[in-house]
Amino acid sequence: QDTFKIQTQRAFLDVYLADGTNIRLDIQTSDTADRILEVALCEMGLSRELIKYFSLFFFQDHDDGALSVVKKVAEFELPYVSLQSMKELRCKLGIRKWYMDLSLDTLLMDCRASLNLLYMQAIQEVKRNWIKPTEGQMQELEFLQKNANKAKFLESIRETQFYGYIRLDPCICDYPEEGCSADIYVGNNEINCCIKLPTSQTKEVSFKINRLRSWQVTFLCATKNGEEDDTLELRLEYNDSGTWQWITLYTKQ
C-alpha cells in the first residue's frame, strides 16, 4: 500500500466468473485475498466449508480471444493493490477451483453454487480448447450442455484429456531439441508438454512428478532494442530412461 500510495479506504472490486459475469464487491483496499474470496463465494450461496476448494486468480483476456491465467493470488495478498500494480497487464480478478483431485468434483456437486462454478469453468475450458475430448466425447458434451444437464456434463467431462489440469501459456523449451514451442498442462502428478518440433510435427511428452529430482526458477531481465525483455526460466532435472538430464522451459513475462 505504501509503495503505490494507496490508503486504506472503501472501494469497489469486480470479481469475475468463468462465464464472463462478475460480482461487484464493496471492500476495503486493505482486504486480503482470503477475505475477498470468502465474501464473494458467500454472496453466491456457497457453503463455508467448501470455500477452501476455490481460489482467486489474476487472468488476462487478449484481443485475439485467448485467455491467460497469470497467477494464483496468495491468501495474504491485497488484490486491490495488486491490480493497481499490474495496470499495464490489464489483469482481471477471477474465481477458479483449486485442486487436482478430480474425485472432489463429486463432493462439490451436492451444493448448487459450487456445481454452477464447476460447470461454468468446464464450459469455458471446452470453448478455449484447454481440454482435448475425442469426437465422440465432444458430441456427448454438446448434447448435455444443450439439455442443461450440469451434473451429467461434469461426470462426462472428467473422462476427457487434460480436464482438471492448469493450462499455462505457450513457451519455448530445449527438449527434445532447442527452440521448440510447447503448450504446458499441469495436473494428475505430471507436467504434460505438447511440443511442436521444427518439422512442424507435434510430440506429446509427459514429465511425471515422481521422476523429477530438483528444479530451479530464474527471472531473467535483459534489454533488447531499448525495451526490457523479461523471461522466466524453469529448469527441471528429469530421469529419462535411467539418465538424469536438465530440461529448460522459457516463458515471456
- CATH number for the domain spanning 239: value is 2.30.29.30
User: How buried is 137 (Cβ within 10 angstroms: 0-12 exposed, 13-18 middle, 19+ buried)?
Assistant: middle
Cβ 216 vs Cβ 137: under 8 Å:
no
5 domain residue, yes or no: no
3 domain residue, yes or no: no
- Residue 225 scores a pLDDT above 70: no
52 domain residue, yes or no: yes
pLDDT digits (tens, 9 = 90+) for 48-61: 999 999 999 999 98
Q: Can you give the residue range of the structural domain that contains 113?
A: 102-158
> Which residue pairs from 115-120 have beta carbons closer than 8 angstroms and sit at least 24 positions apart in sequence?
115/150, 115/151, 115/154, 116/44, 116/150, 117/17, 117/18, 117/44, 117/46, 117/54, 118/154, 119/150, 119/153, 119/154, 120/17, 120/18, 120/19
3-state secondary structure of 197: coil
Strand (E) or helix (H) holding 153:
helix 150-157
Q: Are residues 66 and 93 in the same domain?
A: yes
Q: Are residues 85 and 130 in the same domain?
A: no
Q: Are residues 147 and 120 in the same domain?
A: yes
- Residue 155 scores a pLDDT above 70: yes
What is the predicted pLDDT for the residue at 229? Answer: 64
pLDDT digits (tens, 9 = 90+) for 87-145: 888 899 999 999 988 889 999 999 999 999 999 999 999 998 899 999 999 999 999 99
Cβ 215 vs Cβ 237: under 8 Å:
yes
Q: Are residues 83 and 64 in the same domain?
A: yes
Query: Rounded to an integer, what distance in angstroms lies between the CA atom of residue 92 and that of residue 120?
Result: 17
Q: Are residues 171 and 241 in the same domain?
A: yes
Residue 228: pLDDT band by 50, 70, 90 thresholds?
A: low
- CATH number for the domain spanning 143: value is 1.20.80.60
Query: Rounded to an integer, what distance in angstroms lies between the CA atom of residue 51 and that of residue 233?
Result: 33
Angle at 175 between CA 173 and CA 180, to 5 degrees: 50
Q: Are residues 204 and 154 in the same domain?
A: no
More confident residue, 229 or 171: 171
4 domain residue, yes or no: no
Cβ 98 vs Cβ 53: under 8 Å:
yes
Q: Are residues 82 and 38 in the same domain?
A: yes
1 domain residue, yes or no: no
What domain count does the chain have?
3
**What whole-number percentage of the chain has pLDDT above 90?**
66
Cβ 131 vs Cβ 161: under 8 Å:
yes
131 domain residue, yes or no: yes
Q: Are residues 37 and 109 in the same domain?
A: no
User: How buried is 245 (Cβ within 10 angstroms: 0-12 exposed, 13-18 middle, 19+ buried)?
Assistant: exposed
Q: How much is the average pLDDT of 232-239?
A: 90
More confident residue, 252 or 108: 108
Q: Are residues 119 and 176 in the same domain?
A: no
What is the predicted pLDDT for the residue at 222? Answer: 64
- CATH number for the domain spanning 74: value is 3.10.20.90
Q: How much is the average pLDDT of 141-168?
A: 94
Cell numbers for 22 = 462478475
Q: How much is the average pLDDT of 177-190?
A: 90
Query: Rounded to an integer, what distance in angstroms lies between the CA atom of residue 164 and that of residue 187?
Result: 7
Q: Are residues 143 and 186 in the same domain?
A: no
The amino acid present at 133, given as its one-letter code, is P
Q: Are residues 142 and 175 in the same domain?
A: no
What is the predicted pLDDT for the residue at 98? Answer: 93
225 domain residue, yes or no: yes
HSE-up of residue 195 (Cα within 13 Å, Cβ side): 23
Q: Are residues 197 and 182 in the same domain?
A: yes
